[in-house]
Amino acid sequence: MDVTRFWWVRHGPTHEKAFTGWRDVPADLSDRAALERLHAHLPQGAVLISSDLIRAVATADAIAATRHRLPHDPALRELHFGDWDGKHWAEVAASHPDLSRAYWEDPGDHAPPNGESWNEAAARVGAAVDRLTAAYAGRDIVIVAHFGAILTQVQRARACTGAEVLAQSIDNLSVTCIDHSQGRWSLGPVNHIA
């Protein structure tokens, strides 16, 4: 039985205090010890891919070593917050009180202005994961991505609602394992810090 294991890694911290979706902000990768522990925890012969945002690319580059690096994939980006990107939560709550509440409390088809809904993000990330599953079946695949992208796949493995999965923490430089075998998804450790 071939098992494809996805090792989801959240990029290094950005120290942003506002919505950070598709805005291209760098990661703070100054904690070399944390990166070394992360590198040692991940399988050496794995395929490695990241979103195309610089915080994910730089984190992936920092742990690449002997792993086979695939081209960056924009489908693995963070949630697209549209006009909310770069704004503080209070500002968004004041300008879009009902929509911002619905976006987080009932994630699904609610989308920020000029952004995407939870369901659209889940479909985008899920399609990228399906392509990787088909291309690298039976392999270890390390994906350096983002809070929202990772949670869409935790939701897929748990078969739960978006509201349920949003309660899950995904810390910077944490690892979440999700296996695919015989058409089924199963969740391993979530938000593990090496």
CATH of the domain at 57: 3.40.50.1240
Question: Domain range for residue 128?
Answer: 20-38+45-187
Q: What percent of the chain has pLDDT over 90?
A: 98
Q: How confident is the model at residue 102 (pLDDT cuts 50, 70, 90)?
A: very high
- Give how many domains the chain has, as a whole number: 1
- 152 belongs to a structural domain: yes
Q: Residue 78 is encoded by which pair of tokens? A: 């963070």
Predicted structure pTM score: 0.96
- Residue labelled with tokens 């195309």: 52
pLDDT of residue 1: 61
Give whole-number Cα distances, 178 to 32, 113, 156, in Å.
Answer: 26, 32, 10
Name the pLDDT band for 47 (thresholds 50, 70, 90): very high
Arithmetic mean of pLDDT, 127-144:
97
Separation between Cα atoms, residue 21 and residue 85, nearest integer Å: 6
Residue 5 forms part of a structural domain: no
Greatest CA separation found in the chain? 52
Predicted local distance difference test score (pLDDT) of residue 183: 93
